[in-house]
Structure 1
Amino acid sequence: MDRRDLLRAAAVAPLAAFASAPDWRALRRRLDGTLVLPADAGYAAARRLFNPAYDRIRPAGLAYCASAADVAACLAFARAGGIPVTARSGGHSYAGWSTGTGLVIDLSRMSSVRYAGGRATVGAGARLIDVYDRLASHGVSVPAGSCPTVGVGGLALGGGLGVVSRKHGLTCDALEAVRVVTADGRVLDCDASRHPDLFWACRGGGGGNFGVAVSFTFRTFATGRATVFFLHWPWAKAGAAVREWQTWAPSAPDELWSSLHLTRSAGGLDVEVVGTFLGGAAALDRALAPLVARLGRPARRWARTVSHLEAMKAMGGCGSRTTAECRRIPRTAFAARSHLAYRRLPADGIRALVEGVARGGRHSVLLDAMGGAIGRVAPAATAFPHRAALYSVQYYQEGMDRTWLRAIHADMSEYFGDHAYVNYIDPDLANWRSAYYGPNAARLAAVKAAYDPGRLFRLPQGV
């Protein structure tokens, strides 16, 4: 925080005078960024999230913050007026909790990506496609997710499962420092030696709990060519695909990440294994050989060796498009739930999963391989506890009817237990505290009490 930011942060103190009737014009004058109110022309667009199902939510105001001092001013305004406050990085919260009826702090203008000396300093509002694109010019990257318009802030704070995690770890594993604006307006630089408990909590404890993270410093890795692949089998192979994939994928070479998709769509039922291999086509064939030997040759196969950036685009569903086009992927109405698989499904569990997908509707189950570098970090080393999981499970439903989701999640809880991923935040989850955080929940509660004792940040499933 430079001298100018310190002076501007101090200047927010007079906002306490507006405890009874929030003066939005006073907040607007204090911001270098832009405050959008319901009467403003840009309000309809400003309040949109990625999921159009939440377009009905009408915030009292949305602040496009330009600096940490802007964020501090917004938090002082929210404290003084008793206004609910929500931080928004990319607007992809599965439950719509990156918006609300109070003040939304939008970080999308804090999106710089700077690289020096093996480190990337990234604004919390940067979208993943821009992080990948800007670091590609330096021949480096960070382990992150696949959806191109996800904000790096929410991803990193919740852990950050991604398509190179088996080789390079979670997004939070590459995190070396984070700048956080706390509920009382302080701007704290956190790392292993400065505010280490808050730093620990920011590595998997979930966004919106402890403060507003405004920038991250990541350790990068050098990129090379990668091979992306898409393999399809007929639905008759679905049970065998689950059985063989769950044995093979978590123990495959670290360079190989894969995801098994069981899908019911307008086109019918499909079994697909997609993935990224950090190497060439011949080495990929050798890595795939054990799966193919057990399951049989795929009915359709597509593989291509490309740059790391192009591989990330392909995994994000915008392969062969420009970066600008990847920023404009269509908004999608969906609902989702999750599990973390700590053990392989037995035969009756596989049957329940396959039959659940075959039920009417348009939906998918996505099994994403874990293991590798993810599992070589102790569960308590970061706030993300699920280091021993073999794979993550995402139940994805087109539209917002949660009937199928609730049924299949209940059926599969018998086999997967109560583990869930906080970045697939689930409003139906009753035991969310233990499901997301496991044995780390108590330490997270202590960090919350230390840095937000007044509970300014109040998610429905907030620590």
Structure 2
Amino acid sequence: MLHCRTVEDVVAAIKSGDRVIPRGGGHCFVDRRSPGDVLLDLTGLNTIEVRADGVATIGAGALLGQVYDALHAAGRGLPAGCGETVGIAGLTLGGGIGLIGRRYGLTCDRLLGAQVVLADGTVVDCDASCEPDLFWALRGAGGGQFGVVTSLRFDTVPEPITTRISATWVPRDPEVLVAVWQAWAPDAPDDLTLNLTIDGPRAILVGASLLPVEPTQALLAEFADLVGTPVPFELRAGMPLSAVKASFGEAMPDERPRIRSEFFEQSLSDDVLGALIGGGRLAFTAMGGAYNRIAADATAFAHRNQRFLLETANERSWSIAHADGSGRVYPNFPDLSLTDGPAAYHGENLGRLRAVKQAYDPDRFFNFPQAV
């Protein structure tokens, strides 16, 4: 492993001729190294600068906890995930789903530009007008595909004051709960996100609202009425976004979890739901809102008409749900068991991504299973 603290360190590593695999937070679900590959630890590239106009330049090795703290100090926020030890670069390059994304979009939708070291050691800055094809590809295709990203520039948002939402209980009828959630959560107002996990007999709801407390309570009451039984919501109002993120953060497991996931354009059928419940842990993430108001080819992230994302570590559960799935998979949840990973990750954007790959890395110096 090589520890990089400067862009020059990255250039030197690439020019050594050994194939390199960049690593930020180290949360990738699969090990993409082959024998002889050199792992580039980018966590030393963690500087964060926030201008008065809200543009933030963030080193590729910065972790989300560091990013949220620095942005909070400047009164700014960024739609991104909750894991404080997740790296900003990997999250962004594969999309970036989070608690305020239904209002502000994916993390990659807020990306203004990036600095990248290419396979020949050249350092380029890309944005919508300079190296636009490379910039397009970096917004959602997944990390390590075209070069080593060393810094990213974001259009941040004023840090919202947020209401934290949570509930944990044993529902009387989990099938009804999931059926209501999948019909309601993706169509809720953009300012409210409510995600659902079924874990054995327990149901867990987590979310955030940018609305005042009273309309938030009214919306959650509407949801509970549809479920037909009380839902023990706990609300904590007046929290900065950074505090909400920290409260929901999860530590990285000692071993890489094997996650199978899929996006869904439509609700699971009653038959699928009946077979699915009780078969293993299921995590449902609401899409819709700002995620889906961007054209599928505007960025490399192709999944712009999906209602929700389902994750499970149970092979049988995935096989059951797959019958109703879109065949699309979140690039940040790589799955080596897919028969055609690139098509699942990138959809109709795959052809353009392969053209960008040919233009910027024709010898496939940056390569791993399921790369474009």
TM over 0.5: yes
Which position in structure 2 is the counterpart of 1:418? 327
Paired residues, number = 369
Letter paired with 2:222: P
**SS of 1:161 mapped into structure 2:** coil
Matches within 5 A, 1:327-346: 329=251, 331-333=253-255, 334-346=257-269
8 Å contact from structure 2 (residues 33, 368) kept in 1:
no
Aligned identity (percent) is 37
Q: What amino acid is aligned across from residue 247 of structure 2 in structure 1?
A: A
Matched residues in 2 for 1:237 and 1:136: separation? 41
Distance, in Å, in 2 between the alignment partners of 1:369 and 1:237 is 20
Aligned counterpart, 1:278: 210
- 2:137 is the alignment partner of 1:201: yes
Distance 1:308 1:99, change over 3 A: farther
Indicate whether 1:190 and 2:142 are aligned. no
- Deviation, 1:100, is 6.4
Q: List aligned pairs for 1:192-271, cutoff 5 A.
A: 192-264=128-200, 269-271=201-203
The 3-state SS of whatever aligns with 1:446 is: helix
In 2, are the aligned partners of 1:281 and 1:304 still within 8 Å (CA)? no
How far, CA to CA, are the matches of 1:215 and 1:241 in structure 2? 42
Who is 1:369 aligned against? 286
Greater relative CO (CA pairs within 8 A, separation 6+) = 2
Match of 1:361 in 2: none
Q: CA deviation at 1:316?
A: 1.3
The aligned amino acid for 2:180 is: E
Q: How many angstroms apart in 2 are the aligned matches of 1:125 and 1:445?
A: 26
Matching residue of 1:457: 366
Task: Tell me by how many angstroms 1:413 deviates.
Answer: 1.1
Which residue of 2 is the match for residue 15 of structure 1? none
Distance between the aligned counterparts of 2:95 and 2:198, measured in 1? 25
Deviations 1:48-69 (CA, angstroms, capped at 9, x unpaired): xxxxxxxxxxxxxx11112222
* 1:230 to partner: Cα distance: 1.2
Q: Given that residues 88 and 99 in structure 1 are in contact (C-alpha distance below 8 angstroms), is that contact kept between their aligned partners in structure 2?
A: no
> In the aligned structure 2, how far is the partner of 1:233 from the partner of 1:349?
23
Q: Is the 8 A contact 1:87 1:99 kept in 2?
A: no
Change (3 A) 1:330 1:417: closer
1:429 is matched with 338
1:287 alignment partner, SS class: helix
Are the structure 2 counterparts of residues 270 and 461 from structure 1 closer, same or farther at C-alpha, using a change threshold of 3 Å?
A: same
* Residues 146-204 of structure 1: per-residue CA shift (max 9 Å, x gap): 11100001000001111110001000000000111010111110000100000000000
Contact 1:179 1:215 in 2 (8 A): yes
> Any conservation in 2 of the 1:259–1:275 contact (CA below 8 Å)?
yes
**CA-to-aligned-CA distance 1:59-113 (integer Å, 9 cap, x gap):** xxx1111222211110111x2xxx3321101111101227864211111000111
**In structure 2, do the counterparts of structure 1 residues 332 and 276 end up closer, same or farther at CA, with 3 Å as the change threshold?**
farther
The CA distance in 2 between the partners of 1:371 and 1:73, in whole Å, is 43
Residue of structure 1 in register with 2:59 after alignment: 123
Residues 233 and 298, structure 1, Cα contact 8 Å, conserved in 2 = no
- Kept in 2, the 8 Å contact 1:378–1:387? The answer is yes
RMSD, matched Cα: 1.5
User: How far is the alpha carbon of 1:454 from its aligned partner?
Assistant: 0.7
TM-score (norm 1): 0.77
Shift of residue 356 of structure 1?
2.3
Secondary structure of 2:193 counterpart:
strand
Q: Of residues 356, 360, 364 in structure 1, which corresponds to 2:279?
A: 356
Say whether 1:88 aligns with 2:20. no
2:233 aligned to which of 301, 311, 314: 301
The answer (yes or no) to whether the contact 1:375–1:388 under 8 Å persists in 2 is: yes
Deviation at 1:332, TM superposition (A): 3.3
Matched, 1:406 2:339: no
Contact 2:85/2:252 (CA < 8 Å) preserved in 1? no
Aligned to 2:83: 147
Q: Counterpart of 2:152 in 1: which secondary structure? A: strand
- Residue of structure 1 equivalent to 2:224: 292
Q: Note closer, same or farther for the CA distance 1:120–1:100 as it changes in structure 2 (3 Å cut).
A: farther
C-alpha distance in 2, partners of 1:394/1:284?
26
Structure 1 residues 84 and 288: CA distance shift in structure 2, 3 A: same
TM-score, normalised to structure 2's length? 0.96
Change (3 A) 1:190 1:115: same
Q: CA deviation at 1:271?
A: 1.3
Match for residue 97 of structure 1 among 25, 29, 32: 32
- What amino acid does structure 1 have at the position aligned with 2:286? A
Aligned amino acid, residue 419 of structure 1: R
- The answer to whether the aligner puts 1:441 opposite 2:363 as a matched pair is no
> 1:198 and 1:111 mapped to 2: Cα distance?
22
**Quick one: distance in 1 between partners of 2:359 and 2:276?**
43
Secondary structure of the residue aligned to 1:126 is coil
Tell me, in whole angstroms, the C-alpha distance in 2 between the residues paired with 1:85 and 1:310: 36
What residue number does 1:384 align with? 301
Counterpart AA for 1:374: Y
